Structure 1
Amino acid sequence: MKTMTTEELINLLDANEDLNIIDVREDFEVANGMIPGAVHIPLGELPERLEELDPSKEYIIVCRSGNRSGKACQFLESQGFNAVNLEGGMEAYDGELEFK
């Protein structure tokens, strides 16, 4: 499984890279802030929302600590998607947040 550090992610965000970030946390967790531009798809909804994703794109998967996003990455890879797990999740992320 491919991984990315929060520092690498912040550098890509600062460079205005076109990123596809999926936040797999629950509603009550994302209420505390999300990475700007992230799409919220709770882990339990991922299988039925696969049609929203483009198999030709790379997705950076985020959760609270990196465990659920790791499971999401394994699932997405098994479905033919290119997924990258954010190491340490939101606990390690100290960049800008957006609130939805």
Structure 2
Amino acid sequence: METLYFILILLGVIIAYSAFMYFYQRRIVKTLTEDEFKAGYRKAQLIDVREPNEYQAGHILGARNIPVSQLRMRMKEIRPDKPVYLYCQSGARSGRAAQMLHRKGYKDLSHLQGGFKKWGGKIKTK
């Protein structure tokens, strides 16, 4: 019986943490549809947070590759005074990247709803 209570409490903690992170992320980063993203990404810093092999397989034209795994070390490459548009494959990594940037004082953060796999615009491959 104690094991069942432990599992239920653990499950409740996981659900509470997930809900907190979901609402926190929605507060700090704007989720943009493809049309909204296309309308503003040329005036912003466009960052692809996927790994280099994913980036080379295809990326949005004009994007810089700063993988989320390297973001802490390369944060100085991103200007805090300009809008930052982030994207990854599906939207999860760009959300984590936005949280990291927000903690360092970046305010104007947006990411692509559905990520690169939902992108229908121009792409570049290497």
TMscore range, shorter length? 0.7 to 0.9
Q: Which has the larger radius of gyration?
A: 2
Code of the aligned partner of 1:97: I
Q: Deviations over 1:19-72 (max 9, x none)?
A: 211000011111221111111001110001111111101100110000000000
Question: What's the C-alpha RMSD, in Å, of the aligned pairs?
Answer: 1.4
Question: Which residue is equivalent to 1:96?
Answer: 122
Partner of 2:78: 53
In the TM superposition, 1:4-83 aligns within 5 A as 4-12=32-40, 17-81=42-106, 82-83=108-109
Q: Give the count of matched residue pairs.
A: 97
Between structures 1 and 2, the one with greater helix share: 2
Distance 1:73 1:59 in 2: 9
Cα distance between partner residues in 2 of 1:69 and 1:28: 17
Structure 2: runs of 5+ lacking an equivalent:
1-28
TM-score, length-normalised on structure 1?
0.88
Q: Tell me how far 1:10 sits from its aligned partner.
A: 2.4
> Deviation above 4 Å: which 4+ runs of structure 1?
none
Higher relative contact order (CA 8 A, sep 6+): 1
Give 5+ residue unaligned stretches, structure 1.
none
